[in-house]
Every structure is written in structure tokens, then in C-alpha cells.
Structure 1
């Protein structure tokens, strides 16, 4: 239903707050009760028909304007200003959420959940773990050089003894050695450079030849023994220089000494002794070298058999 006043173009006032409307409605009811108490006849509903029967019908009173009632006046009145509200420093209050909270679900004890059975898998046999075995090392071939050096040392001692005997024999042939001075001549010969320098040179040359031939055959010692003989001959000439103290003589005197002893009996004896000892002791060294060669061959064969057989698992 539209507002009557709004139809005449009058401004519409904002309704007052609900509390003012209710209070003023109560005031209007109180006034109506007061009027009813002052006119009890008008308020009794039973006397109304009697009065209407005795009295002549009168003109109906004009219909009161609804906007003249106190309730309408209260509606048209301007709203009272709202009381001043002071804002204090209070913690903000969360806005009320009108949505209802979901009802708490009842807690029930957990029930075992049956999981789907896994498909049966055939058992897998454990794979054997690999076993790492260190491969055997190839045998190192043995040499004969150290043995040739040891054999050469023995040959050098024999060379010294033979050279000493040759010197005593040459002294006896020349008449320098007699029964009275045999001890003096023997001591002089044993301590002379002519004896020990050729011995040292023979040992060094024999050992060098043995290092070169190594496990070679005896024929190599026979052929190359000439070199040891020439080295022994050169050792005799070097012993002559040491015996005459070459640092105290001139070059011409040294050359004259070499001419006198180059084909001396002692030089020739040194060459022959060195050559023969190299042949005979070279046979010993060659025999030992042959044995070492056989050992190396056997070790190589054993190594090859081990590789062919492969790794062997030994259980204790």
C-alpha cells in the first residue's frame, strides 16, 4: 500500500527508530484508555443498540483523518538525535558470523580397513654375488748377473794365486829367488802393484762380461773370453806404471816402460791366465744360467696353466 502523502508530491520522511515508535504507541494507548474511562457509556457495547433504537438516526459523523491521530503524528515527527557513542581503545571484536557451525561429528573407534590383497609374486631366487679374485702376476724372469759377479770373485782369487806362482817361477828362473831370500821375494811379490792391479782389472772385466751374457751359453764365454784376456794384459801394464810411480816420471820414461813390458813374460802370463779362467769359470756361469732359464720356463708354464684353469674357490 503506497503512502497517501507521497501521492501529493510531499517529501517522505525517514521512519523513526523502532524504540520511539513503540514508546509513542504505548502513549497513544494510554490516552485512549483515559478517554474510555471518562465516557463509560460510549465504551459499553451493550448500550449501543438501545441508544440507537430510542434516538432517531443521525447523520454519520465524518470519517476522521488517519493522519490526525497521535500515532501518525509520532510517525511524522523528526527522529531524535542518536546518543553520542564514545569509542574506546578496545580490541576489535570479530563480526558475528551468522552461518551456523557444522555439528561435530561423533567420534567412533577406528575400524580396520581391509586392504586389497596384493597379487601373489613368485619368490625370486637370490642372485649370487660376484667374487673378485686378483689375477696372478706374471713371473719375473730371473737373471744370472749376480751369480756371474760371485763366480768372477772366485775366479779373481784364482787369478791372484796363479799370478803369484808365475812371479815366483820367473824370479827363480832369473836367479833372483834363492832359498835364502824366498820369504823376502814372496812378500815383495804379494805386496806389489804388478800382482793386484791385474787381479782387479780381471774381476771387473769378468763381471761385465757376465752381465752382458747373463744366461747365455758357454760358447759366448769362450769367444768373448779374449776380451777378458786383453783386459788382464792391460792390467799388467797399468800395474807397471803404478809400481814405477808414474806421477814421478816423465811421459818419455812412461813410454819406455810400456815398450819394455808390453811383451814381458808377466804380461803374456796375465793374458793367458785371464783368457783361460774366463773359459773355465765361464762354463760354471753358463751352467748356472741354463738352470735359471729352466726355472723361468717352468714358472711361465705354471703361470699359463693358472690362467687357463681360472679362479678356484677354496673352502676351508
Structure 2
């Protein structure tokens, strides 16, 4: 392209339009349009009072469809932006009141009342066993005295050797076997009678006498001793002791001691029976009264 020349033949400089000014002006126009759009989008918190005048308002040029189309064309072309709601100081945040749960009032605590236990009836068996021990000691003393007396009648025991004879008898089977048998029979009878009356002891005392009589014969077999005897020798020994004076004495002692010591056991059994009756009555009165609350 050739440069234009003047009439005198000199080149003529054409005016150059700066492109930067055009860009700056376009950007300023876009910024003004965006500012106008933002101002229109701001929500007015407080209503503005408009004074009513008799003069009719002039028509708003922005009410025409053409103006609305021109005003919203940049907004339609611009990217859609989602704005989060911002709480301004003019909108105070009211926190919901925290309602405290209603306190749970403690109800009346249950009162547990233990039912009274029925009284256990007391027995007399242990007491009968203790009384039987004293009766057995008495039996041993009487039995030993009878053995020394019969020995004195036979001339075996004299005044000079009575002490040694008594000590020798204390270590023999013939004394302790019938004594142990008497105690076992007395205690078993007391366990059966328990709190029975004295008449029962009197009648059943014969059984204890028979047991003492058999204990005498058994003691003589241990004294022999029976494991060294033949069958015929053992039979001869038993037949010789069936009507022996000491065997009869053992029967009598067992019978009488059972009667008299049985009276002691029967008296205590009667007392225990009365205590059981009184305890049962007290238990029945407690049940009839029902549970009672005692306040301190």
C-alpha cells in the first residue's frame, strides 16, 4: 500500500486511533452496567415512604419492554452466580430458648418388710445324750462296785488288794464294753422319745436294761478273748454268764438308771415343749399384727 502524498509531493501522516482507549472505554461501560444491575438487585430493608402528590408521576422510561430487554441482556449473557444469604446487623439472630427438661421428682421408695420366719421346734436329743453320759459314768461306778463286791464274797478281793483289783478292772474289757453299750442304748432311746413324758422312759427302760445285760456277756467274750476261743468254748462261756450275778446286776443297773436319769431328760423335754408352744404363739401374733413401720 502506498503512502498518500500531498500536492507538493511530501508524505501526509494519517491520524492514528489508539486501540487501548477503545478497550478502556468498553470496560468502563461494562463496569457501569454491572454496578447498575447490582444496585437494582439490592433489597431495601426499610420501606421508603412515598408522598402522595396530586401531580401524576412521570412515566418511567425503564417500564417499556424495549428498556427491560436492553437492561437484562447483559445479565442473561453473564454467568449465573448463586449468592448465599448474608445476615446483616439489621437482622438480629434470635436463638431458640433452651428448655430444660422437667426434673424427675423421686417417688416414694418401696419399703421391704421381711416376713417373720416360723420358729423351728427345739428338740431334746442333744440333752438326752449329755444326760446319758452322766448315766453311763454312774453305771460304770455301780458295775465296778458290784464286781468288787462279788469278788469279796468269793474271797478273791480283800481289804489289802481292793485298790489294785479296782485299778486292774478299770483297764479290762469286762467293764467298758457294758458301759459303752448302756450309753448307746440310753442315747438311742432318748433320741426316739425326744420330748416324751417320763412314763415312756419308765416303760422303755426295760430295753436299756436288756442292752446292759447283753453288754455284760459281750464284755466277757472280749475279756476271754473270743478270737482265741473255739466255738464250743465260746458257747460254754456264754451259758456260764447267762445267770451270773454280775449279769443280773448289769440288767438292774441299766433299768434303774434309765428310769431316774430318764426323769431328768423328761423334765427338760417338758420345758422345751413349753418354749416351742410359746414361740409358736408369738409367731402367730406377729402374723396377725401384720407388718409395722417403726420410725426413728
* TM-score normalized by the length of structure 1: 0.62
Matched, 1:226 2:206: yes
- Aligned partner of 1:192 in structure 2 is 172
- Aligned partner of 2:115 in structure 1 is 135
Q: 1:190 Cα deviation (Å)? A: 2.6
State the alpha-carbon separation in 2 of the partners of residues 244 and 100 from structure 1. 128
Q: 1:96 Cα deviation (Å)? A: 5.7
State the alpha-carbon separation in 2 of the partners of residues 101 and 187 from structure 1. 127
Q: 1:241 Cα deviation (Å)? A: 0.4
1:160-207: CA deviation from partner (whole Å, max 9, x where unpaired): 111111111111222222223222322233332221111010001101
Q: 1:99 Cα deviation (Å)? A: 8.7
User: Which of the numbers 247, 256, 274 marks the counterpart of 2:254?
Assistant: 274
1:88-109: CA deviation from partner (whole Å, max 9, x where unpaired): xxxxxxx965598698675522
> Structure 2: which 5+ residue stretches go unaligned?
1-76, 98-104
Matched, 1:178 2:161: no
User: Which of the numbers 210, 229, 233 marks the counterpart of 1:253?
Assistant: 233
State the alpha-carbon separation in 2 of the partners of residues 104 and 247 from structure 1. 122
- Aligned partner of 1:10 in structure 2 is none
Q: 1:252 Cα deviation (Å)? A: 0.7
Mean Cα deviation higher: 263-272 or 104-113: 104-113
User: Which of the numbers 87, 92, 96 marks the counterpart of 1:109?
Assistant: 92
State the alpha-carbon separation in 1 of the partners of residues 79 and 176 from structure 2. 126
1:107-145: CA deviation from partner (whole Å, max 9, x where unpaired): 52256999xxxxxxxxxx986432111112111111111
- Aligned partner of 1:286 in structure 2 is 266
User: Which of the numbers 175, 180, 190 marks the counterpart of 1:210?
Assistant: 190
Aligned residue pairs total 212
State the alpha-carbon separation in 2 of the partners of residues 180 and 100 from structure 1. 140
> Structure 1: which 5+ residue stretches go unaligned?
1-94, 115-124
